[in-house]
């Protein structure tokens, strides 16, 4: 009997594997490096053995099994692949800005594995990014956790299929501007934002009840209850209430952070991470107690009213108060040097090397629910690794090689001039590779276009 179940499970597992995209897994032996494990201290002159995408041994004087390449990393540092908990790299669409709640939107639908930003992130040692919906809506779309397997043609092959579901929420000026001021609907104020969330969850509870009632009734003889309407929007909110989805909430001010903490307490939701969280230092104990922490900028602020009250000590204060804290990019430019951003917590807050590196490795892994798989160098974990020349927290650090699942996707010595995956047959103008607004936030991408369109309509309607 047991054997049958085992066989069945194996068969099922095989089936799933075949239906999903082919994911490449590699083997490699990195020799004689300073290994910064992040969770288990630093190991001098040590080796890391990777077999079939998984770290199988860490120690001194390991020998490469037959067929596995050894890389001499003498004098170099190896750290876990950097994880960016807030990014919009690799997405064709960022904002479906047209409604205050768009929980049915899936960023996995619009992943573009050919975005050059992925390669640039790899060159900065980033192996995983959290590709998020934008912040135009109170409840935005469901995000995608990406593994930077550069060169994959299939979007499914760069989506981290074993990562849990996450969703974007947004408080404050962005949703009130787009929907309230721009469109004349709720929310027009921070109170409105709270009302939209509470109404959404309450509606979801009714939705769940409606379906439960129908599912019970339809099995009965002589049932006259007809099926309720299907709504992936409400079903997603139900899944949040059921603890199946981690909320990642765009936020700045302490009052609104505290507001959301009250809301999740009322609805018994445990899985919330705050994003940006510039005033997080004011409510750090509350964040530590009730949430999965905060993902912040090292020192970026004053780009709009709600982001003035800020400090570069924010990350350190949150961390010292026991909140899980990560440092993110929200930018295709910042993503290339998150190790510098992490280093700033040492200048502003005096964090240790390990605490600073945790901000861009194991802590974001915890916030994405993947800390059992990645985020540190431990036997059994997925082999996402970066080899640095110089200590990664030094301002002279230069990433040399980046591995995802043991496969090398970036090598500074073998860096092609032209990394584009797709070149149009009709391309006339020599391409300009840098985007002028690369340093800007992409949180509000696609919103301007939307705004223009509907303001035009708004004006027409008035005439």
Partner 1 sequence: MNKQFLKAGMLGLLVAGWLNQAAWAQSDPTGKRRVTSTYAITNATVVKAPGDPGSKATILIKDGIILGVGASLTLPKEAKVIPGDSLYVYPGFIDGAGTMGISKPKEVERPKDFVSSTPPDEVAGITPWRMATDTYSGASTQVDDWRKAGFTLSQVVPDGGMLPGKTALVFLGEPKTTNILKVNAAAAANFRSSRGMYPATLAGVMAKFRDIYQNTALVIEHERMFATSAGIKRPQTSPTHTAFMPVVQKQLPVLFAAGSELEIRRAIALQKELGFKLILMGLENYESVIGVIKSSNTPVLIKLQVPDDKSIKSQKAEGVTEATKAQYSRVKESYDNALKQAAQLEKAGIPFGFSTADAKAADVQKTLNTMISNGLSEKAALAALTTNPAAILGISSMAGTLEKGKLANLVVTTDTLFKEESQIKYVISDGYVFDYEIKKKSVKTEAKPEGAPNGVQVEGVWEYSSETPAGSSGGEITLKRENGVLGGSITFDDPSGAGKATAPIKNASLSGKTLSFEFDVAAGGMSLTVAISGEINGKIMEGSLSVPQMGSFPVKATLSSPSQAN
Residues lying near partner 1 in the complex (CB under 8 A) are found at 92-93, 95-100, 102, 104-107, 109-110, 112, 141, 153-156, 179, 183, 185, 222, 224, 226-232, 417-418, 420, 422-428, 430-431, 446, 450, 452-457, 461
Q: How far is the CB of 101 from partner 1 (least distance, A)?
A: 9
The rounded distance, in Å, linking the Cα atoms of 294 and 337 is 20
Nearer to partner 1, 36 or 136 (CB): 136
- For 285, the token pair is 């104990």
Q: How far is the CB of 248 from partner 1 (least distance, A)?
A: 17
Q: How far is the CB of 417 from partner 1 (least distance, A)?
A: 6
Report the run of H or E that residue 386 belongs to, with start and end.
strand 385-389
The rounded distance, in Å, linking the Cα atoms of 418 and 440 is 24
Nearer to partner 1, 44 or 430 (CB): 430
Q: How far is the CB of 439 from partner 1 (least distance, A)?
A: 24
Computed from CA positions of residues 111, 116, 121, 125, in that sequence, does the dihedral angle turn out positive or negative? positive
SS3 of 388, please?
strand
Where are the strands (E) in 62-163, listed by range? 70-72, 77-80, 82-87, 126-131, 139-142, 144-147
Nearer to partner 1, 113 or 399 (CB): 113
Computed from CA positions of residues 31, 162, 131, 340, in that sequence, does the dihedral angle turn out positive or negative? negative
Computed from CA positions of residues 319, 323, 324, 325, in that sequence, does the dihedral angle turn out positive or negative? negative
Contacts of 17 (CB under 8 A, 6+ apart): none
The rounded distance, in Å, linking the Cα atoms of 396 and 382 is 28
Q: How far is the CB of 425 from partner 1 (least distance, A)?
A: 4
Q: How far is the CB of 359 from partner 1 (least distance, A)?
A: 30
Helices and strands, number each (H, E), in the chain: 13, 17
Nearer to partner 1, 144 or 254 (CB): 144
Nearer to partner 1, 60 or 420 (CB): 420
Nearer to partner 1, 179 or 344 (CB): 179
Maximum distance among all Cα pairs of the chain, rounded to whole angstroms: 79
Report yes or no: 341 and 325 within 8 Å, Cβ to Cβ: no
Q: How far is the CB of 453 from partner 1 (least distance, A)?
A: 3
Using the structure block, give the residue that is written with the tokens 């509606």.
Answer: 203
Instruction: Please count the other Cβ atoms lying within 10 Å of the Cβ belonging to residue 384.
Output: 30
Nearer to partner 1, 5 or 229 (CB): 229
Nearer to partner 1, 224 or 436 (CB): 224
Q: How far is the CB of 374 from partner 1 (least distance, A)?
A: 26
């Amino acid at each position: 009997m047991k054997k049958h179940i085992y066989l069945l499970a194996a068969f099922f597992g095989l089936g799933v594997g075949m239906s999903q995209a082919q994911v490449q897994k590699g083997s490699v032996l990195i020799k004689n490096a300073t290994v910064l494990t992040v969770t288990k201290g630093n190991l001098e002159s040590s080796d890391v053995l990777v077999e079939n995408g998984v770290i199988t041994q860490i120690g001194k004087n390991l020998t490469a099994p037959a067929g596995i390449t050894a890389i001499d990393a003498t004098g170099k540092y190896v750290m876990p692949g950097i994880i960016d908990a807030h990014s919009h790299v690799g997405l064709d669409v960022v904002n479906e800005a047209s409604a205050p709640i768009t929980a049915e939107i899936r960023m996995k639908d619009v992943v573009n594995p050919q975005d050059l930003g992925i390669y640039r992130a790899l060159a900065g040692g980033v192996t995983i990014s959290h590709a998020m919906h934008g912040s135009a809506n109170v409840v935005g779309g469901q995000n995608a956790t990406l593994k930077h397997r550069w060169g994959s043609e299939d979007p499914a092959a760069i989506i981290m299929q074993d990562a849990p579901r996450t969703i974007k929420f947004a408080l404050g000026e962005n949703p009130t501007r787009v929907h309230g001021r721009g469109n004349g609907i709720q929310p027009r104020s921070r109170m409105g934002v709270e009302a939209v969330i509470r109404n959404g969850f309450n509606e979801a509870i009714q939705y769940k009840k409606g379906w439960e009632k129908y599912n019970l009734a339809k099995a009965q003889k002589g049932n006259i209850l007809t099926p309720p309407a299907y709504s992936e929007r409400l079903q997603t909110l139900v899944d949040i209430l059921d603890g199946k989805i981690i909320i990642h909430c765009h936020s700045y001010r302490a009052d609104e952070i505290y507001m959301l903490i009250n809301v999740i307490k009322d609805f018994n939701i445990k899985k919330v991470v705050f994003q940006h969280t510039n005033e997080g230092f004011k409510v750090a104990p509350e964040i530590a107690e009730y949430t999965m922490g905060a993902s912040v900028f090292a020192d970026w602020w004053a780009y709009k009213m709600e982001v003035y009250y800020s400090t570069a000590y924010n990350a350190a204060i949150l961390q010292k108060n026991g909140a899980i804290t990560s440092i993110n990019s929200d930018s295709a430019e910042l993503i290339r040097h998150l190790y510098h951003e992490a280093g700033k917590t040492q200048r502003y807050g005096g964090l240790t090397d390990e605490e600073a590196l945790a901000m861009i490795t194991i802590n974001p892994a915890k916030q994405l629910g993947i800390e059992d798989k990645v985020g540190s160098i431990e036997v059994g974990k997925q082999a996402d690794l970066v080899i640095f020349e110089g200590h990664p927290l030094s301002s002279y650090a230069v990433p040399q090689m980046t591995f995802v699942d043991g496969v090398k996707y970036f090598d500074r010595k073998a860096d092609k001039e032209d990394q584009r995956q797709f070149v149009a047959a009709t391309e006339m103008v020599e391409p300009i590779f840098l985007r002028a607004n690369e340093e800007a936030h992409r949180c509000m991408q696609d919103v301007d276009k939307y705004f223009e369109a509907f303001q035009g309509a708004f004006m027409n309607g008035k005439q």
